[in-house]
Chain A
């Protein structure tokens, strides 16, 4: 039995065809290829034939272990200390190059903390991947709420009936239409450590008491600087989405609330926010996806440095696939990213579902 969808609707399918072809060519096929590559040792150019390796790439990427090192002791059983009185620990290679513990072979330290005479270490097979993962999650966790919140605030301001308000709409929306690469280049000048606009401004505001910071060259400020720039760049886009949501709320609801004696905050809480539910879901999902895809800013501004402090998953995927010619590694990161974004989107939809 042929369903009416396939038989009676030939023109419909004809119209959908170009879209379907494009989606298959650039989204579905590459994804299936990536999934396939991630199970092999495929390289960009290699004399050796490609071999199926199962989940080895994933084990390599995700391998993580927790070890404890005891402080070095002198022959009398006394804890050895460095000149500042700090206990001295044996180097990690006593474990990773030890024939007794082959499971730790090739792993590197990610981070450690010490309690008394013990040091606790988290070691990973692929430390850069883990740093990229943490940076990406941090970026999403900070950028998503801040950007969504700021955009909502701007939308609320812009939604008023004031003379010349469209000028502000245009201004806030402008960074969105400029290419992110151009924006990143501009902000590199703003963040410049010697003569950047930001340093000059801060110095001016503090009457010269502010010491210039190399915003993108300092591991403590680099990721934060990129976050600030990213929030600024896309806030106008989300403002427009919020604005469209705001304008679907009936003005008489506001009038009813005003007559009932509602304060501005109460009006927001009981009228505006409930009316923005669907918009909120959309904005959050879009921001989350965009944030996970963080790449251009990194590529233009820091290339993952300094000291891997701005490594991100997509940047790593690209760098491995094309920089290091490790197509299998890049594909593996892509698949992991896909699983993370999919789970988070499903979770968000579930949390914000109609009850």
Chain B
């Protein structure tokens, strides 16, 4: 790997990796267009910027929005991590990682949260807080938080334009009236920078505080619906909630991860063969690095 390629263009050497394809799969014009949409998204936190979603060798709905962002950003010296529901070795994550490796040979891939420069993820935010030199790219299936209360696209656009979110609030109010609490679990809506309501993609509520006033940049890509949006560093992300019914994250009581013993991470239930249930970290890198540290006595 040479670190001299600062502005990645197709060269003979790179084309060898996957003959007939451009560096990072997409052509340079498409990547430039995506980066321009990303700049606009960063300038308008939480605002959904339309972009010309490209075809990829992965079906839409399988992370093509996130992948296009990743491909438009990577260059020599980048280290990419791809996770699906917190795991690096799911089929989907492996496929995306392989595409990056084969089309951008000067990019390294990793499973370590700490060493990645770009982390593409589906449905989770890593437990370990990210730094200002890291970018989180989230795959988004449904980018429009107002779709629940309004089907018409022209109307949701007007609502965002006027910051007219009362119908969203009514839906939350009715939830409390009917169920006695806020029942929304994944993809909890939040107000970004005091202006735009966004869906953080179907991450658990647990992850939402990680996006608030964070050090890192979060980018959201929806391939099918052709939308990109962003939460820049040090930007407020406030879950919609009430003074007397505040936003709360998932509670795991005194449960701990069966593998690493963590009590401070998002846990998923794993059924055993005998019918009992065990819990383990959903973020596999978090879990493995804790096990590693314990084995090497640095815990």
**A and B associate in one complex:** no
Query: Measuring CB to CB, which residues of chain B are less than 8 angstroms from any residue of chain A?
Result: none
Query: Measuring CB to CB, which residues of chain A are less than 8 angstroms from any residue of chain B?
Result: none
